Amino acid sequence: MAEDVHQTEKVQCEDDGGYLGKWKDLDQHIIIRRTDEYCVCLKKDLRIDWQTSVEFDKAENAGDPEVKRKRSALLAEITVEELKAADGFSDSVLIRQRTLLGEATVLCLEADFDGAQKTIESARTVLQARSDEMSRQWYLRASATATFPFVLFFAVFWLNRDYCLKAVGPTAYWLLLAACGGALGALFSVIARSGDMHFELGASKDLHYLEGVSRIIAGAISGLLVAMAVRSDLIFGAFARGEHMSIVSMLAAVAGGTGERLAKSIISRFDEKPHDDKSEGS
């Protein structure tokens, strides 16, 4: 029996070019590259692991110091990319990103530094694109969830308007509805801008929900303030007369709710294209 197991391991090593036994100390869950000089792989926890031979290390120490410096710098950059926050990412996304970083490690060991840098950028793009997708989902879900109570409140107050008007008075009634309109305007603003937002990789799910809720509340407050200004004849005085007062204040509140975008986002940034100031010369 022992001879059969030994024979099986021998065949596996031969089929692998003899490298399986050489790098047996590594957790080779997914093999990126395996040669006589080095082995780069992903462990079961999808972290990159690699090892070089004694001969490779001797040649490295005796080689060009500039090459060694570039290799060390790129390997450090790969480590930084690997350690970026990846909460919520599926294994398929992590495997794709880590495989690219593993290939960059291979290129780095092969002294193809330009190729390694390009591969690192590709891995960074993969993670950023997926991060943007997840962040938009979290952000929009949080904003919609925060808006729902305002919509429900509006529906209840509107369907029971006769009773509510008598209970709180016309002014308070329309101001409360205006706050709901401001929340709805904030949601419209969030939806309209979500496609242009580029989210930070380190922002957690809780932070996305915190910002989504705060944006809707800010919109409700903005709508309330705008409606108060309309009813106080501070703005739109020529249009908000008599029977038009309520409808104008509601429309202004919805528009005012979009003012939530004036607050600086804590989880996102906007790409600002630099102006091309170069003049065309002859």
Q: What is the pLDDT of residue 205?
A: 76
Q: What would the pLDDT profile of 193-226 be if each residue is shown by its tens digit?
A: 776 666 665 667 788 888 888 889 888 888 888 8
Q: What would the pLDDT profile of 56-68 be if each residue is shown by its tens digit?
A: 888 888 888 899 9
d(CA 261, CA 239): 26
Amino acid, res. 41: C
Which residue, among 52, 56, 58, has the nearest Cα to 105 in the 3D structure?
A: 52
10 Å Cβ neighbour count for 215?
25
How far is CA 244 from each of CA 116, 183, 231, 235, 251, rounded to the nearest angstrom? Answer: 66, 22, 11, 14, 11
Residue 20 in tokens:
């399986």
d(CA 235, CA 246): 14
Q: What is the pLDDT of residue 266?
A: 47
How far is CA 71 from each of CA 27, 28, 38, 58, 117, rounded to the nearest angstrom? Answer: 23, 23, 14, 15, 11
Pairing state of beta strands 268-269 and 198-199? Answer: antiparallel
At 12, give phi and psi (nearest 5°).
-60, -40
Angle in degrees, CA 93, 88, 211, rounded to 5 = 130
Q: What is the pLDDT along the chain (282 residues), one digit of tens a residue?
A: 444 434 433 433 444 555 666 888 888 889 999 988 999 999 999 999 999 999 988 888 888 889 999 999 999 999 999 988 777 788 888 899 999 999 999 999 999 999 999 999 999 988 888 887 888 888 889 999 999 999 999 899 889 988 988 888 888 888 888 888 889 888 988 888 776 666 665 667 788 888 888 889 888 888 888 888 777 665 555 444 555 566 676 777 777 777 655 444 545 544 444 444 444 443
Which residue, among 115, 92, 91, 98, has the nearest Cα to 50 in the 3D structure?
A: 98
Cα 105–chain centre separation? 25
d(CA 103, CA 110): 10
